[in-house]
Amino acid sequence: MSLLALPDHLPEEKPVDLLLALGVGLRRDGTPGPPTTAVAQRTAELAERGFARTILLSGGYRQNGVAEAEAMQSILSGRAILTPILLDCSPAHIGGTPFQPPSAAALFQSELGRTPDQILLVAHRMHLPRALWLFRRFFRKVEFYWAGAEEVYDPCSEQRRLRARWRFAIWNLMAWTHHRLWCR
Protein backbone atom coordinates (compact mmCIF):
# COMPACT_ATOMS: atom_id res chain seq x y z
CA MET A 1 0.00 0.00 0.00
CA SER A 2 1.22 3.46 -0.83
CA LEU A 3 2.05 5.95 1.88
CA LEU A 4 -0.64 8.21 0.45
CA ALA A 5 -3.41 5.58 0.36
CA LEU A 6 -5.91 5.33 3.21
CA PRO A 7 -6.59 2.26 5.35
CA ASP A 8 -10.25 1.22 5.58
CA HIS A 9 -12.53 3.09 7.96
CA LEU A 10 -15.75 1.06 8.24
CA PRO A 11 -18.76 2.00 10.36
CA GLU A 12 -19.22 0.15 13.63
CA GLU A 13 -22.99 0.24 13.28
CA LYS A 14 -24.48 -0.88 10.03
CA PRO A 15 -26.15 -0.32 7.67
CA VAL A 16 -25.22 3.17 6.49
CA ASP A 17 -27.60 5.11 4.24
CA LEU A 18 -25.53 4.70 1.08
CA LEU A 19 -22.65 2.66 -0.24
CA LEU A 20 -21.08 4.74 -3.03
CA ALA A 21 -18.72 2.98 -5.47
CA LEU A 22 -16.52 4.98 -7.85
CA GLY A 23 -15.55 3.45 -11.20
CA VAL A 24 -11.92 3.40 -12.26
CA GLY A 25 -11.98 3.13 -16.04
CA LEU A 26 -12.73 0.57 -18.70
CA ARG A 27 -10.90 -1.26 -21.42
CA ARG A 28 -11.36 -0.30 -25.06
CA ASP A 29 -14.03 -2.98 -25.58
CA GLY A 30 -16.12 -1.65 -22.67
CA THR A 31 -15.27 -4.42 -20.24
CA PRO A 32 -14.18 -3.54 -16.71
CA GLY A 33 -10.48 -3.97 -16.16
CA PRO A 34 -8.94 -5.16 -12.88
CA PRO A 35 -9.34 -1.81 -11.00
CA THR A 36 -13.05 -1.38 -11.76
CA THR A 37 -13.65 -5.09 -11.13
CA ALA A 38 -11.90 -4.76 -7.76
CA VAL A 39 -14.14 -1.81 -6.77
CA ALA A 40 -17.28 -3.70 -7.85
CA GLN A 41 -16.24 -6.83 -5.98
CA ARG A 42 -15.40 -4.86 -2.82
CA THR A 43 -18.80 -3.15 -3.09
CA ALA A 44 -20.54 -6.53 -3.46
CA GLU A 45 -18.64 -7.90 -0.46
CA LEU A 46 -19.68 -4.95 1.73
CA ALA A 47 -23.30 -5.19 0.52
CA GLU A 48 -23.37 -8.91 1.31
CA ARG A 49 -22.12 -8.11 4.82
CA GLY A 50 -25.06 -5.70 5.29
CA PHE A 51 -23.18 -2.39 5.25
CA ALA A 52 -25.70 -0.38 3.19
CA ARG A 53 -29.38 0.31 2.63
CA THR A 54 -28.77 1.50 -0.94
CA ILE A 55 -25.86 1.24 -3.40
CA LEU A 56 -24.88 3.98 -5.85
CA LEU A 57 -22.52 2.97 -8.64
CA SER A 58 -20.85 6.04 -10.10
CA GLY A 59 -18.82 6.34 -13.26
CA GLY A 60 -19.66 8.04 -16.54
CA TYR A 61 -16.45 7.30 -18.42
CA ARG A 62 -17.57 5.31 -21.50
CA GLN A 63 -15.89 2.84 -23.79
CA ASN A 64 -17.72 1.04 -26.58
CA GLY A 65 -21.07 2.45 -25.33
CA VAL A 66 -20.66 1.14 -21.75
CA ALA A 67 -20.24 3.40 -18.70
CA GLU A 68 -18.17 2.41 -15.65
CA ALA A 69 -21.33 2.32 -13.50
CA GLU A 70 -23.00 -0.08 -15.94
CA ALA A 71 -19.93 -2.32 -16.03
CA MET A 72 -19.90 -2.48 -12.23
CA GLN A 73 -23.64 -3.22 -12.19
CA SER A 74 -23.05 -6.30 -14.36
CA ILE A 75 -20.55 -7.59 -11.79
CA LEU A 76 -22.92 -6.96 -8.87
CA SER A 77 -25.86 -8.58 -10.67
CA GLY A 78 -23.70 -11.68 -11.15
CA ARG A 79 -23.44 -11.92 -7.36
CA ALA A 80 -27.21 -11.54 -6.82
CA ILE A 81 -26.98 -8.47 -4.58
CA LEU A 82 -30.39 -7.73 -3.04
CA THR A 83 -29.62 -4.15 -1.92
CA PRO A 84 -31.28 -1.53 -4.19
CA ILE A 85 -28.80 -0.23 -6.80
CA LEU A 86 -28.77 3.25 -8.37
CA LEU A 87 -26.57 4.23 -11.32
CA ASP A 88 -24.80 7.55 -11.90
CA CYS A 89 -23.51 7.50 -15.46
CA SER A 90 -22.86 11.25 -15.64
CA PRO A 91 -19.77 12.06 -17.69
CA ALA A 92 -16.56 12.81 -15.84
CA HIS A 93 -15.47 16.42 -15.44
CA ILE A 94 -13.61 17.90 -18.41
CA GLY A 95 -9.89 17.32 -18.15
CA GLY A 96 -10.14 13.72 -17.00
CA THR A 97 -10.56 14.49 -13.30
CA PRO A 98 -13.73 12.91 -11.99
CA PHE A 99 -15.91 15.21 -9.93
CA GLN A 100 -18.89 13.05 -9.03
CA PRO A 101 -20.37 15.04 -6.10
CA PRO A 102 -22.65 17.34 -8.17
CA SER A 103 -24.20 14.47 -10.12
CA ALA A 104 -24.45 12.42 -6.91
CA ALA A 105 -26.29 15.30 -5.20
CA ALA A 106 -28.84 15.46 -8.02
CA LEU A 107 -29.32 11.70 -7.84
CA PHE A 108 -29.76 11.80 -4.04
CA GLN A 109 -32.60 14.30 -4.42
CA SER A 110 -34.31 12.56 -7.34
CA GLU A 111 -33.99 8.95 -6.13
CA LEU A 112 -33.70 9.18 -2.33
CA GLY A 113 -35.47 12.49 -1.76
CA ARG A 114 -32.66 13.70 0.51
CA THR A 115 -28.92 13.70 1.06
CA PRO A 116 -27.82 10.62 3.02
CA ASP A 117 -26.56 11.14 6.57
CA GLN A 118 -23.85 8.48 6.22
CA ILE A 119 -21.97 7.34 3.14
CA LEU A 120 -19.54 4.46 2.80
CA LEU A 121 -17.26 5.41 -0.11
CA VAL A 122 -15.65 2.54 -2.04
CA ALA A 123 -12.85 3.37 -4.44
CA HIS A 124 -9.46 2.25 -5.64
CA ARG A 125 -7.10 2.81 -2.68
CA MET A 126 -5.10 5.44 -4.54
CA HIS A 127 -8.33 7.33 -5.39
CA LEU A 128 -9.63 7.44 -1.82
CA PRO A 129 -7.83 10.52 -0.44
CA ARG A 130 -8.78 12.67 -3.42
CA ALA A 131 -12.34 11.28 -3.66
CA LEU A 132 -12.92 11.69 0.05
CA TRP A 133 -11.60 15.25 -0.09
CA LEU A 134 -13.92 16.16 -2.99
CA PHE A 135 -16.99 14.56 -1.43
CA ARG A 136 -16.34 16.07 2.01
CA ARG A 137 -16.00 19.54 0.48
CA PHE A 138 -19.32 19.13 -1.32
CA PHE A 139 -21.26 17.34 1.45
CA ARG A 140 -20.09 18.98 4.67
CA LYS A 141 -22.81 17.50 6.90
CA VAL A 142 -22.45 13.88 5.76
CA GLU A 143 -20.52 11.38 7.87
CA PHE A 144 -18.12 9.49 5.59
CA TYR A 145 -16.63 6.05 5.96
CA TRP A 146 -14.42 4.44 3.34
CA ALA A 147 -13.17 1.13 2.02
CA GLY A 148 -10.46 0.71 -0.56
CA ALA A 149 -10.40 -1.80 -3.35
CA GLU A 150 -7.23 -3.69 -4.08
CA GLU A 151 -4.50 -1.65 -5.75
CA VAL A 152 -4.52 -2.96 -9.29
CA TYR A 153 -3.28 -0.97 -12.25
CA ASP A 154 -4.49 -1.77 -15.72
CA PRO A 155 -2.06 -0.94 -18.53
CA CYS A 156 -4.85 -1.75 -21.03
CA SER A 157 -7.17 0.94 -19.69
CA GLU A 158 -8.00 3.74 -22.07
CA GLN A 159 -7.94 6.33 -19.28
CA ARG A 160 -4.55 7.96 -19.22
CA ARG A 161 -4.81 8.80 -15.53
CA LEU A 162 -4.60 5.10 -14.67
CA ARG A 163 -1.17 4.77 -16.24
CA ALA A 164 0.82 7.19 -14.08
CA ARG A 165 1.16 6.58 -10.33
CA TRP A 166 2.81 9.99 -9.84
CA ARG A 167 -0.49 11.68 -10.78
CA PHE A 168 -2.21 9.90 -7.91
CA ALA A 169 0.60 10.90 -5.57
CA ILE A 170 0.30 14.60 -6.50
CA TRP A 171 -3.51 14.61 -6.20
CA ASN A 172 -3.41 12.74 -2.90
CA LEU A 173 -0.70 14.96 -1.49
CA MET A 174 -2.83 18.01 -2.30
CA ALA A 175 -5.87 16.36 -0.69
CA TRP A 176 -3.94 15.37 2.45
CA THR A 177 -2.43 18.85 2.77
CA HIS A 178 -5.82 20.52 2.44
CA HIS A 179 -7.34 18.06 4.91
CA ARG A 180 -4.59 18.54 7.51
CA LEU A 181 -4.55 22.35 7.23
CA TRP A 182 -8.21 23.25 6.82
CA CYS A 183 -10.44 20.29 7.77
CA ARG A 184 -11.30 18.68 11.06
- Which tens digits make up the pLDDT trace of 130-157? 788 888 888 889 999 999 998 666 666 5
- pLDDT level of residue 101 (50, 70, 90 thresholds): confident
**Structural domains counted in the chain:** 1
Sign of the alpha-carbon torsion through 96, 33, 26, 75: negative
- Domain range spanning residue 87? 16-182
The answer to whether position 10 is within a domain reads no
Residues 92, 121, 159, 78, Cα dihedral to 10°? -110
Task: Name the more confident of 157 and 111.
Answer: 111
Domain annotation covers residue 176: yes
Residue 75 lies in a domain: yes
Q: Report if residue 6 sits inside a domain.
A: no
Question: What is the model's pTM?
Answer: 0.81
Q: Is residue 87 part of a domain?
A: yes
* Residue 1: inside a domain: no
**Is residue 11, in this structure, part of any structural domain at all?**
no
| pLDDT band, residue 129 (cuts 50/70/90) | confident
DSSP β-ladder status, 66-67 and 62-63 = antiparallel
Model pLDDT, residue 46: 96
With beta carbons less than 8 A apart as the criterion, state whether 109 and 97 touch.
Answer: no
The three-state DSSP-derived secondary structure of the chain is: CCCCCCCCECCCCCCEEEEEEECCCEECCCCECHHHHHHHHHHHHHHHCCCEEEEEEECCCEECCEEHHHHHHHHHHHCCCCCCEEEECCCCCCCCCCCCHHHHHHHHHHHHCCCCCEEEEEEECCCHHHHHHHHHHHCCCCEEEEEEECCCCCCCECCHHHHCHHHHHHHHHHHHHHHHHHCC
The answer as to whether 144 is a domain residue is yes
CATH number (domain holding residue 110): 3.40.50.620
pLDDT digits (tens, 9 = 90+) for 73-85: 999 998 888 899 9
